[in-house]
Chains A and B, each alone.
Chain A
Amino acid sequence: MTRPPTTLHQDATHESALGHVTGHARYVDDLPHPPGLLHGVIVRSPVARGTLLGVDVEDAVRLPGVVRVLTASDVPGDNHVGPIVHDEPVLADGELWWNGQPVALVLGTTREAARRGAEAVSVRHEPLTPVLTMEEAERRDQWLITPHVIRRGDVDAALASAHLVIQGEVHTPGQDHFYLETHASLAVPGEAGTMDLASSTQHPTEIQRMVAHVLGIPDAAVTCRVPRMGGGFGGKESQATTPACLAALGAWLTQRPVKVWLERGEDMRITGKRHPFRGRYRAGFDAEGRLLGFDAEVVADGGATVDLTGPIVDRALFHLDNAYVLPACRLVGKAVRTNLPSNTAFRGFGGPQGVAVIEDAMERAAFQLGLDPVEIRRRNYYADTAGRDITPYGQQVRDVRIERMTETLLATSDLAAWRAEVAAFNATSAHTKRGIGFVPVKFGISFTNSLLNQAGALLLVYADGSVQLNHGGTEMGQGLHTKMIAVCAEVLGVRPSDVRVMATSTEKVPNTSATAASSGSDLNGQAVREACEAVKARMVPVACELLGAERVRFAGGRCVDADRPDHAVAFSKVASDCWVRQISLSSTGFYRTPGIAYDRPGGQGTPFFYYAYGAALAEVEVSAWTGEYRIRRADLLHDVGDSLVPSIDRGQVEGAFVQGVGWLTTEDVLYGPDGACVTRGPSTYKIPAVGDVPADLRVNLERSPQAGTIGGSKAVGEPPFLLGFSVVHALRAAVAAFGTREPELALPATPEAVLFAIDRQRA
Chain B
Amino acid sequence: MAVSFTVDGQVVRVEGLHPTTTLLRWLRESGRVGTKEGCAEGDCGACTVVVAHDGRWRAVNSCLIPLPSLHGRAVLTVEGLARGDRAHPVQEAMVEALGSQCGYCTPGFVMTLFEGAHRTDLDQPWKLDDQLCGNLCRCTGYRPIRDALQQVAGTCPDDGLAAPATDEDALREDGEGGAWFAPTRVSEATAWLAEHPEARVIAGATDLGLDITQKHARFASLLSVDRLAELRGIEVAAGMATIGAATTLVELEDWSAEGLPVLHRMLRFFGARQIKHRATIGGNLCNASPIGDLAPVVLALGGAMELVSASGARTVSADDFFVAYRRTALQPGELLARVRLPIPPAATKLGAYKVSRRRELDISAVSAAFQVRVAEDAVTEARLAYGGMAATPIRARAAEALLVGRPWTEETVRAAADSLRESFQPLTDHRASAEYRHRVARNLLLGFFAETREQPFIALPDRPTATVQEVG
Question: Across the interface, do B432 and A690 meet the contact criterion of CB distance under 8 Å?
Answer: no
Interface membership of A702, Cβ < 8 A? yes
Task: Say yes or no: A477-B443 contact (C-beta < 8 A), given A230-B36, A699-B469, A752-B436.
Answer: no
Question: B92's closest neighbor in chain A, by CB?
Answer: A1
Count residues of A near B (Cβ-Cβ below 8 Å): 100
Query: In the bound complex, do residue B77 and residue A687 qualify as a contact, i.e. CB atoms below 8 Å apart?
Result: no
**With A and B bound together, what is the CA distance between A623 and B446 in angstroms?**
13
Closest residue on chain B to residue A699 by CB atoms: B468
**Taking the complex as formed, is B137 at the interface, i.e. its CB lies under 8 A from any CB of chain A?**
yes
Residue on B with the closest CB to A650?
Answer: B468
How many angstroms from the CA of A178 to the CA of B433 in the assembled complex?
A: 24
**B453-472 near A? 1/0 per residue, CB < 8 Å:** 00111110111101111110
| A450 within 8 Å of B (CB atoms) | no
CB–CB B471/A701 < 8 A: yes
How distant is A377 from chain B, measured CB to nearest CB, in Å? 20
From A22, A181, A431, A681, B41 is in contact (CB under 8 Å) with A681
User: A654 in the interface, Cβ–Cβ < 8 Å?
Assistant: yes
Residues of A450-482 at the interface with B, using a CB-CB cut-off of 8 Å, are 476-479
Which residues from chain A contact B444 at a C-beta distance below 8 Å? 625-626
B403 interface contact, C-beta 8 A? no
Q: Does A287 touch B at the CB level, under 8 Å? A: no
Query: By the criterion CB–CB under 8 Å, are B461 and A695 in contact?
Result: yes
Task: Verify A431–B447 contact, CB threshold 8 A.
Answer: yes
Instruction: Report B382-401 CB contacts with A as 1/0, cut-off 8 Å.
Output: 00000000000000000000
Stretch from A25-33, A269-277, A299-307, A379-387 contacting the other chain: A25-33
* Given A412-B471, A654-B141, A690-B133, A22 contacting B91 (CB threshold 8 A): yes
Q: Which of B40, B44, B100, B214 contacts A20 (CB 8 A)?
A: B100
The smallest beta-carbon distance between A618 and chain B, in angstroms, is 13
The answer, among A263, A431, A701, for a CB contact under 8 Å with B470, is: A701
CA distance A538 to B450 in the complex (A): 79
B134 to chain A, nearest CB (A): 9
Q: Is there an interface contact between A21 and B36, defined as CB atoms closer than 8 Å?
A: no
Q: How far is the CB of B47 from chain A (nearest CB, A)?
A: 11
A117 CB to closest chain B CB (Å) equals 13
Residue in B95, B140, B469 whose CB lies within 8 Å of A651: B140
What CA separation (Å) do A177 and B450 show in the bound complex? 41
Inside 8 A of B293's CB, which chain A residues have their CB? none
Stretch of A11-19, A245-253, A316-324, A358-366 contacting B (4+ beta carbons < 8 Å): A11-19
Instruction: Please give the residue numbers on chain A whose beta carbons come within 8 Å of chain B beta carbons, in ascending order.
Output: 1-3, 13-14, 16-27, 29-30, 32, 115, 177-182, 228-233, 263-265, 408, 412, 429-432, 476-479, 621, 623-628, 630, 632, 637, 646-648, 650-651, 654-659, 666, 668, 670, 678-679, 681-684, 686-703, 750-752, 755-756, 759
Contact with A along B433-449 (1 / 0, CB 8 A): 10010011001101100
Determine whether B110 belongs to the interface, using a CB cutoff of 8 Å to chain A: yes
- Of A18, A430, A479, which is within 8 A of B87 by CB? A18
A682 near B471: Cβ-Cβ < 8 Å: no
| Residues 1-53 of B contacting A (Cβ, < 8 Å) | 31, 33-41, 43-44, 46
Give chain A nearest CB distance to B48 CB in angstroms.
11
- A647 vs B144: C-alpha distance when bound (angstroms): 11
B103 and A16 contacting across the interface, CB-CB below 8 Å: yes
Q: How far is the CA of A688 from the CA of B142 in the complex (A)?
A: 9
- B-side binding surface: helix, strand, loop or mixed? loop
Chain A proximity mask over B411-439: 1 for CB below 8 Å, otherwise 0: 00000000000000000001111001001
Please tell me if B283 contacts chain A, counting CB pairs below 8 Å. no
The proximity string for B residues 122-164 relative to A, scoring 1 for CB distances below 8 Å and 0 otherwise, is 0001000100110111111111111000000000000000000
Interface positions of B from 175 to 231, Cβ below 8 Å from A = 214, 216
Q: B95: which of A13, A476, A477, A693 is its contact (CB, 8 Å)?
A: A13
- A2 to B98 CA separation, bound complex (whole angstroms): 10
- Chain A contact residues, majority secondary structure: loop
Provide a sorted-by-A list of 17 A–B residue pairs whose CB atoms are within 8 angstroms. Answer: A29-B33, A180-B136, A264-B40, A431-B450, A477-B101, A623-B457, A627-B440, A654-B143, A655-B139, A658-B142, A683-B41, A686-B357, A689-B142, A689-B359, A692-B360, A697-B141, A701-B470
What's the least CB distance linking B141 to chain A, in Å?
A: 3
Cβ–Cβ contact B458 & A689, under 8 A: no
- Asked whether, in the complex, the Cβ of B467 is within 8 Å of the Cβ of A180, the reply is no
Chain B residue numbers with a CB within 8 Å of A647 are 98
Minimum CB–CB distance from A719 to chain B (whole Å) comes to 15
Are A696's CB and B102's CB within 8 A?
no
Asked if residues B463 and A695 are in contact (CB atoms below 8 Å), the reply is yes
Picked from A626, A668, A682, the residue with its CB within 8 Å of the CB of B44 is A682
* Chain A: minimal CB distance from B24 (Å): 12
Q: Which residues from chain A contact B145 at a C-beta distance below 8 Å?
A: 690
Known A-B contacts: A115-B216, A637-B471. Give 20 more (CB < 8 A).
A18-B95, A19-B103, A20-B107, A21-B91, A22-B81, A22-B91, A182-B38, A630-B459, A651-B139, A654-B141, A654-B144, A655-B101, A655-B141, A670-B430, A682-B44, A687-B136, A688-B358, A690-B132, A698-B469, A702-B471
B91→A697 contact, CB < 8 A: no
Which B-chain residue is minimally distant from A759 (CB atoms)? B439
Are B138 and A659 within 8 A (Cβ)?
A: yes
Residues of A within 8 A of B105 (CB): 180, 230
Whether B102 contacts A698 by the Cβ 8 Å rule is no
A477 cross-chain contacts in B, Cβ below 8 A:
100-104, 139
With contacts A654-B140, A655-B141, A690-B133 known, is A623 near B100, CB below 8 A? Answer: no
Given contacts A22-B78, A696-B464, contact A478 B101 (CB under 8 A): yes
Determine the chain B residues whose CB is within 8 A of the CB of A13 once the complex forms: 95-96, 98
Contact of A431 among B35, B43, B455 (CB under 8 A): B455
Beta-carbon contact of B94 and A689 below 8 Å:
no
> CA–CA, A115 to B37, complex, Å?
17
User: Ordered nearest first, which 10 A-B pairs have the shortest CB separation?
Assistant: A23-B34, A477-B102, A230-B104, A20-B103, A658-B141, A682-B43, A477-B101, A697-B466, A20-B100, A180-B104
In the complex, A165 Cα to B254 Cα: how many Å?
59
Tell me the complex Cα distance, A26–B31, Å: 12
Specify which chain A residues have a CB less than 8 angstroms from the CB of B43 in the assembled complex: 681-683
> Which residues of chain A have C-beta atoms less than 8 A from B466's C-beta?
693-694, 696-699
Contact status B439-A2, CB under 8 Å: no
Cβ-defined contact, A230 with B443, below 8 A: no
B379 adjacent to chain A (CB < 8 Å): no
Does B355 interact with chain A (Cβ within 8 Å)? Answer: yes
Is A682 within 8 A of B39, CB to CB? Answer: yes
A181 touches which one: B102, B440, B471 (CB < 8 A)? B102
Residue B319 CB within 8 A of the other chain? no
Which of A628, A654, A655 lies in contact with B359, CB distance below 8 A? A628
In the complex, the answer to whether B34 meets A228 with C-beta atoms within 8 Å is no
- Report if A231-B138 is in contact (Cβ < 8 Å); known contacts: A21-B106, A646-B470: yes
Bitwise, B84-96 to A at CB < 8 A (1) or not (0) is 0001000110111
User: Please, how many angstroms separate the alpha-carbon atoms of A688 and B133 in the complex?
Assistant: 10
Contact of A21 among B95, B101, B133, B470 (CB under 8 A): B95
Give every chain B residue within 8 A of A697 (Cβ-Cβ): 141, 143, 466-467
Nearest A-chain residue to B38, judged by Cβ: A180
